Chain A
């Protein structure tokens, strides 16, 4: 395989808080190959957002990379000067945020904002506006030229998310990071946005790191999937491996909880009993053992090894059914 666009190796991130050190990410290994869509799925508090903030180096003040490295296009993101970093962010790496209502500046027109983000390019303002308009029509905003003069509040939520996607792709990045871009939208708009991302990804040939807690969206969009739980990447593999042949008990439980896969109507839905362990006092052994239906003696004592189930499909578990 060619060198990945993004290569996360053995990454651990800690937050220093008055109550103790929160070990938010532990030993994450994840590669995003060129022009592929990698999905990260997990529940609240699993560290998805921390991982993105580390990748784009926009971490909270009290966060530290405790170990590991993040290589983007061969460069170590955490040993770059601010100037080099600026040359990467918004140029080779861009981002679509969760809430389209707050991602755009309310006091400038869309045209102005889309023109401003092209500040690096030595072309005329007129040309920049033309590019912006072309991009808007590409993401399905009708009458793009005249809409450049509109302000964000003139657009609905779905339209604004299309605009943020247009802006993120305007710079033709190598990597697009999308943090729950459809969570704030209705189902009918969600599928429209997913389809749009899929089409544009094929056109632009950029890699996408897609974060969501919505399994079905991941299934539709992604080529590879990583499943996170309490700060660890418990399973990763191709989208078919994860959805058709899940190995890790957590992945299985998560897939079973989805009410849309249960054919017979039922009033009592499956759940995952228990809660996420404290990331300050980590439990010994496997991080999932106290909620795991398959937990054995060894799971309480020893952290599980990463077991290879197929090519590019691994799960961190003692009790895999091979």
Chain B
């Protein structure tokens, strides 16, 4: 099947100083790299998980796909059409098909608008007012298991889980094909987290939606996504089918990330692969392989040179000079 979204060698750079200042300080490269050439594809009806620590560039990828950030190079093809470099007017029709669920649900709902008006905004912006708006809004609320009377409430009257569902309803308003969900469960209690994920799974099943889920919660990604990419300082260090990445990981960072999760068993003996320290800033990007400053397997070569792409079987790729051996079975 042709992919719905195909991102190829996407690179996003941020300016660190104005052109004048760069000239005065004779800095001929006043940029830092936010995303360093990532490639991935999402097929219709599938879920792609983007995992990484804060500052790894997950949200930057999402914003670039939405056309909310200038892309330095690379291609973002949606239904075969490259969105990079399109003008504001030309990109607008595609925005109907790609919806975004923001990270902070309460913060992304205007405190001065009632839920009903918030849900009417996508229609208004895209000049697609349905004939009977209140019926449409009731339908949206019902889809996310909220009662139509909630339309009369203000965002501050909702609980965290309800606000999250209004975010889902708003994303669904224009019947998109792809929903980008930025940390859809961050800050939710475990019992509510399940409700939101189940809701997303049901909508995906009923409407054939594709999802790009951004999260640092590996336990969630393992259940809900078909493919997953492990991101670090703007690169995908490892990507592939979820089961493969979780059970036959080759990159030491993937392994470290997986073992970093606290276990619900107080007697568990932890074979924890410790990584020390924190993710370095984009400004002080390490030379060579970016992960070498924290990697337990680091060797001289890693400090000098970024590894080439390696592939094992279908769709499973990683970048490492000294990958983990494949476990038996």
Given contacts A188-B260, A213-B189, A262-B223, contact A243 B266 (CB under 8 A): yes
* Contact, CB under 8 Å: A254 / B261: no
Within 8 Å by CB of A220, from B243, B262, B276, lies B262
Is A306 part of the contact surface with B, judged by Cβ < 8 Å?
Answer: no
Shortest B11–chain A CB gap in Å is 24
Stretch in contact with the other chain, from B19-27, B122-130, B169-177, B214-222: B214-222
Given A44-B160, A188-B53, also A215-B222 (CB < 8 A): no
Cβ of B28 under 8 Å from chain A: no
State whether A188 touches B201 (Cβ < 8 A): no
For window 222-277 of A, CB contacts with B under 8 Å fall at: 239-240, 243-244, 253-255, 257-262, 265-272, 275
Query: What are the residues of chain A within 8 A of B279 when measuring CB–CB?
Result: 186
Give Cα A194–Cα B263 distance, bound, in whole angstroms.
12
Q: Is the CB of A257 within 8 A of B191?
A: yes
**How far in angstroms is the closest Cβ of chain A from B15?**
21
- Which of the listed residues B160, B190, B198, B276 has the most CB atoms from chain A within 10 Å of its own CB? B190
CB pair B264–A187 under 8 Å, yes or no, is no
Interface status of A43 (Cβ within 8 A of chain B)? yes
Chain A residues within 8 Å of B257, by CB? 187-188
User: Chain B's nearest CB lies how many Å from the CB of A164?
Assistant: 16
Residue B106 at the A interface, CB < 8 A? no
Other-chain residue from A220, A253, A258 in contact with B219 (beta carbon distance below 8 A): A258
Taken together as a complex, chains A and B put the C-alpha atoms of A189 and B197 apart, in Å, by 25
Contacts of A243 in B (CB 8 A): 264-266
Q: How far is the CB of B296 from chain A (nearest CB, A)?
A: 13
How far does the alpha carbon of A271 sit from the alpha carbon of B199 in the complex, in Å? Answer: 11
Known: A156-B278, A158-B278. A267 touches B224 (CB 8 A): yes
Is the CB of B254 closer than 8 A to any CB of chain A?
no
Task: Point out the residues of chain A lying under 8 angstroms from B217, CB to CB.
Answer: 187, 259
Binary CB contact string for chain B from 191 to 212 against chain A (1 if under 8 A, 0 otherwise): 1111101100100010000000
Nearest-Cβ distance from residue A140 to partner chain B, whole angstroms:
9
Q: Contacts A187-B218, A215-B190, A257-B191 given; indicate if A269 touches B264 (C-beta within 8 A).
A: no
B residues 146-189 touching A (CB-CB < 8 Å): 159-160, 189
How far is B161's CA from A95's CA once the two chains are assembled, in angstroms? Answer: 29
Contact B263 A257 (CB under 8 A): no
Bound Cα distance A27, B188 (Å): 27
Instruction: Answer whether residue A191 sits at the interface, using C-beta atoms and an 8 A cutoff.
Output: yes
In the complex, which of the residues A186, A255, A265, A268 contacts B264, with contact meaning CB atoms closer than 8 Å? A255
A156 to B266, CA, bound (A): 30
Let me know if B219 and A265 touch, CB within 8 A. Answer: no
A46: nearest residue on chain B (CB-CB)?
B189
Interface hits, A61-76 → B, CB 8 Å = none
> How many Å from the CB of B206 to the closest CB on chain A?
13
Assess whether B263 is in contact with A189, with CB atoms less than 8 Å apart: no
A308 at the interface (CB under 8 A from B): no
Asked if B138 is at the interface (CB within 8 A of a chain A CB), the reply is no
A44 vs B164: C-alpha distance when bound (angstroms): 15
Q: Report whether A270 and B194 are in contact in the complex, using a CB–CB cutoff of 8 Å.
A: yes
Instruction: Check A214 for interface membership: any CB of B closer than 8 A.
Output: yes
Contact of A266 among B205, B223, B275 (CB under 8 A): B223
**9 closest pairs, A vs B, by CB?**
A216-B262, A269-B194, A260-B219, A43-B189, A271-B194, A272-B191, A267-B201, A259-B219, A257-B190
What are 30 sample pairs from A and B whose C-beta atoms fall under 8 A apart? A43-B189, A158-B278, A186-B279, A187-B218, A187-B261, A188-B260, A188-B275, A190-B260, A191-B262, A215-B190, A216-B263, A219-B263, A240-B267, A243-B264, A257-B191, A257-B193, A258-B190, A259-B219, A259-B222, A259-B223, A260-B261, A260-B264, A262-B223, A265-B242, A267-B205, A269-B198, A269-B223, A271-B191, A271-B192, A271-B198
Binding site for B on A (CB under 8 A): 43-44, 156-159, 186-192, 194, 213-217, 219-220, 239-240, 243-244, 253-255, 257-262, 265-272, 275
